[in-house]
Structure 1
């Protein structure tokens, strides 16, 4: 029997994160449900297990230290094959540059960017032990500066917190790809599209399951797959 693939998905107790965990679990993987709320986390784990997934809870608040989460994976498996950095917040409104509270920008970046760096760095030792390690950072096309400035794409309301945090995440991911270019770790950005979730008051036109598809595709890339790229279901997203 082949060695079971181990994944960790942050923000996996609901929405897109939950569906990513469900999709990876359907592949026969062991999936860590990373979430800070214990009740919601364990409810998600129970639901995934009821559906046949090998799921387990990982207490994890991306705005704090991720060392305990890494220690849990170390003790349980001794490695990590796939990390999906999905946890994110919008920060609420208003977000126009002339109206936004600078503290809102700081709070959003703390979760959407610094949280990704914090978790990724905590998991790197475990990822390096994998034969085919993958990191998927969930971004958004609103983080595409090309689309923000093109004028022909609907990038939603003006925002100096959430959209810019995704542009920041894109830039940081490129730097990771450059630093890790001499390793077998593939790191890419995935855009789920406009998905109906709590983040947008369920106004999106795509389902969480549809939004999870790109993360699952990037998590299962072959060893000669791309790294440092930005993708959605249609292919490459312009920077």
Structure 2
């Protein structure tokens, strides 16, 4: 039985940026400062058939074979499928329990990539989008953050769409920027849902559920980083935008390949980020959240 010295988990990893993140973790880990032996990467997906198909695909990946990245090729990384539907609280709990049971000493990297982008805008789209993108990511973070070994990394994949721009009122922007606790960001998300339901959101919020959900992810990540650091933890917690990537979510309109989009999330997991904590990254550098 293999003993893994490093363990990573990537949510929403059966295609697109998520699958590319798994590939790049396997490729870049041997040259990283975190390399001290075998690496286990959990590839997650809500659909078992798609998840296992993705696992089979990556095990046959020619670049991984050429680089001898996987243990089956003589390398360091093993990849294992675990089910996870980020839209289901029970699925998140089951996933967290499985990770903890299989790795009682903790894990090193958690990259929360799973999310949805729905067409249209109404109260149902808002509730569904925030339930998955914000509340699902929040639940996964809450359940697994304490299980990340000290000095590990947590990366929440957000989006440039989550910038705090002029579509938000100054009051809402101030609440986002001054939040010290994740609960304050959660209250903002609940306030947005209520405002949309009552038809009053356009006074203070953009009419784009995806943008607000990702602003929530950025704010929540920043708050978790502050709280964790104050508690003395050395785990680095950051959010990022992978860029405009050509995937199903962008309907193929992106200009980056999935592997290019994976670079910033993987940098935040494995790279020298100079102690960055609570920051928002894009194009492999820190960017301002407020525009």
Scaled by the length of structure 2, what TM-score is found? 0.71
Matches within 5 A, 1:206-221: 206-221=256-271
- Computing the radius of gyration from Cα coordinates, the structure with the larger value is 2
SS of the aligned residue for 1:199 comes to: coil
* Unaligned stretches of 5+ residues in structure 1: 94-99, 150-157
> Which of 113, 131, 143 is equivalent to 1:110?
131
Conserved 8 A contact 2:86-2:132: yes
Partner of 1:61: 85
Cα RMSD (Å):
2.0
Matches within 5 A, 1:217-228: 217-222=267-272, 225-228=275-278
Partner of 2:146: 125
User: What displacement does 1:132 show?
Assistant: 2.2
Change (3 A) 1:36 1:7: same
CA distance in 2 between counterparts of 1:101 and 1:109 reads 12
> Which of 96, 105, 116 is equivalent to 1:70?
96
User: What displacement does 1:71 show?
Assistant: 2.2
User: What displacement does 1:37 show?
Assistant: 0.3
SS of the aligned residue for 1:236 comes to: strand
User: What displacement does 1:124 show?
Assistant: 2.5
Which structure's residues are more often helix, by fraction?
Answer: 2
Partner of 2:47: 37
* Unaligned stretches of 5+ residues in structure 2: 31-38, 62-69, 71-76, 169-205
Residues 175-223 of structure 1 deviation map (CA, whole Å, 9 limit, x = unaligned):
1111101211111011111001111111111111100000000001458
Number of residue pairs aligned between Structure 1 and Structure 2: 222
